[in-house]
Amino acid sequence: MTKLILPPGYHSSTDLRQTQKAIKLIKDTFQCKLAAALNLQRVSAPLFVEENSGLNDDLNGVERPVSFDIKQTGVQAVIVHSLAKWKRMALKLYRFEPGTGLYTDMNAIRRDEETDNLHSIYVDQWDWELIIRPEQRTTDFLQQTVRKIGQVLTDTLAELKKTYPQIKTEINPEIYFISTQELEDKYPSLSPKERERAITKEYGTVFISQIGGPLKNGLPHDGRAPDYDDWSLNGDLLVYNPVLQDAFEISSMGIRVNAVSLKNQLRQAHCVQREKYPYHQQILSNQLPLTIGGGIGQSRLCMLLLGKAHIGEVQSSLWPQGMRETCAKNGIYLL
């Protein structure tokens, strides 16, 4: 529990029942505004996929998926980590056109997650994906999309405050854009997480781009699977969280790999063997649409907008008993 943050004098501005009502308001408002801003249609999505399909998100490549065998077929299935790859297949299957896309409720179990104020073994997020044209695979288009999501975020906060004026959360509507290399150059003596804290404290709302490839120091800013985001056209949307006095990730997103960037990134990550998977084969043969997409944490969003100190205040999950007891002593009541 060394990572647990206990804000001095913390007190929630909404009680348990108000919190539940506010969660629904946030989720209803945000997903409707997001769909309108990006021209997305809601679709149903799987909780699990076949282990050998290549469709599961490998995250940083070391997390173990929850797996089980299916009695009727003997097939080994895995709970999804995210739907980063599945969404691109679905866009083709459902015959979406350029400029249109989908979003879905993604629920997952990440058994290897170290729980703290921000992390749970249960993950709930909106996964979204939009078909783009070849000429839109640019930094400018990526930033335009980020600004649209930022506007949805601040609009949702404004709606929330109309019903719950006691909420004092503030979000800077102006997004500051910086690459991981520029961030390292700005704070060469700090670790990646310390850089994120410093830059969000200075600018409030920040998009850190180009995550996955090595920096000048030989190390990546953070881990990214090599087979969904293009490492030169992706990033994280962060805000400064005054309750935790730290950077707070709202969304990880990016323009997805094409045949060229997939080959290069698999080689860099020493994962060339993945080229044999059906998903990867379709990218390498240009059978899947070019897309941009990402994930937006639902509980994360509710936690931020409601000014909560722990994700367990807006989400039911399993927490170490010691964490529950320590939080309760400090006015943080976990669901």
Q: Kindly state the average pLDDT of the residues 247-264.
A: 96
Count of CB atoms within 10 A of residue 332's CB?
Answer: 23
Q: What pLDDT sits at residue 61?
A: 63
Q: What pLDDT sits at residue 66?
A: 87
Give domain status of residue 207, yes or no.
yes
Q: What pLDDT sits at residue 65?
A: 84
Give domain status of residue 9, yes or no.
no
Give domain status of residue 58, yes or no.
yes
Of residues 71 and 206, more confidence is placed in 206
Give domain status of residue 306, yes or no.
yes
Q: Considering the entire predicted model, what is its pTM?
A: 0.92
For 118-153, what is each residue's pLDDT tens digit? 999 999 999 999 999 999 999 999 999 999 999 999
Give domain status of residue 10, yes or no.
no
Which residues constitute the domain of residue 220?
16-329
Tracing tokens 């700090």 back to the chain, one arrives at 190
- Calculate what percentage of the chain has a pLDDT beyond 70: 98
Write the burial class of residue 150 (CB in 10 Å: 0-12 exposed, 13-18 middle, 19+ buried).
buried
Whole-angstrom CA distances from 117 to 1, 67, 327 are 10, 27, 10
Give domain status of residue 6, yes or no.
no
**Tokens describing residue 203:** 């600018």
Task: Enumerate residues 6+ apart whose C-beta is below 8 A from 309.
Answer: 5, 6, 7, 10, 12, 117, 243, 244, 332
Q: How far apart are CA 263 and CA 276, in angstroms?
A: 12
Query: What are the two backbone dihedrals, phi and then psi, of residue 78, each rounded to the nearest 5 degrees?
Result: -130, 140
State yes or no: pLDDT of 81 exceeds 70: yes
Task: Look up the CATH number of the domain holding residue 87.
Answer: 3.30.930.10
Residues belonging to the active site: 57, 110, 125, 236, 249, 252
Q: What pLDDT sits at residue 293?
A: 96
Q: What pLDDT sits at residue 225?
A: 86
Q: How far apart are CA 30 and CA 325, in angstroms?
A: 33
Which residue from 139, 138, 154 is spatially nearest to 205, judged by alpha carbons? 154
Count of CB atoms within 10 A of residue 325's CB?
Answer: 12
For 277-325, what is each residue's pLDDT tens digit? 888 999 999 999 999 999 999 999 999 999 999 999 999 999 999 999 9
Domains contained in the chain, number:
1
Q: What pLDDT sits at residue 2?
A: 56
Mean pLDDT value across the chain: 93
Count of CB atoms within 10 A of residue 272's CB?
Answer: 13
Give domain status of residue 5, yes or no.
no
- Residue 106 banded pLDDT, cuts 50, 70, 90: very high
Of residues 82 and 173, more confidence is placed in 173
Q: What pLDDT sits at residue 3?
A: 83
